[in-house]
């Protein structure tokens, strides 16, 4: 891949990361103080040779929830987030 194509590829991935963060916030209604991180990584599961996406949600109470979706970030839609929920505080 050329350097220019590599930069374009990175920019596209970053754009999708921001897009998925927005989807997670809309879906979980987690509020402005929670932290959402989205990262794309190479899945180590031999049955899944492609890219996977890790979504981490930190609530303001520091409860953490992590979800791994076995697909590239560019392919994630609201449909894939249906099982993603906000961390629940322990009582």
Q: Binders of Zn ion: how many residues, by CB under 5 A?
A: 5
Q: What's the closest the beta carbon of residue 90 comes to Zn ion, in angstroms?
A: 30
The separation between the first and the last C-alpha atoms of the chain, rounded to the nearest angstrom, is 52
Q: What's the closest the beta carbon of residue 46 comes to Zn ion, in angstroms?
A: 9
Query: Rounded to 5, what percent of the chain is helix, strand, coil?
Result: 35, 25, 40
Task: Centre a 10 Å sphere on the Cβ of residue 61 and count the other Cβ atoms it contains.
Answer: 11
Q: What's the closest the beta carbon of residue 36 comes to Zn ion, in angstroms?
A: 20
Out of 8, 64, 70, 88, the residue judged to bind Zn ion by CB under 5 A: 70
Name the β-bridge partners of 66: 56
Out of 48, 60, 78, 89, the residue judged to bind Zn ion by CB under 5 A: 48
88 binds Zn ion (CB under 5 A): no
Distance of alpha carbon 32 from alpha carbon 38, whole angstroms: 16
Binding site for Zn ion (CB under 5 A): 43, 45, 48, 52, 70
């Amino acid at each position: 891949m050329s350097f220019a194509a590599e930069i374009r590829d990175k920019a596209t991935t970053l754009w999708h990361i921001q897009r998925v963060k927005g989807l997670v916030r809309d879906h979980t209604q987690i509020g402005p103080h929670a932290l959402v991180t989205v990262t794309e990584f190479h899945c180590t599961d031999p049955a899944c040779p492609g890219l996977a996406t890790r979504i981490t949600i930190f609530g303001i109470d520091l409860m953490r929830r992590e979800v791994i979706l076995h697909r590239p970030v560019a392919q994630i839609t609201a449909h894939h987030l249906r099982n993603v929920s906000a961390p629940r505080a322990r009582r």
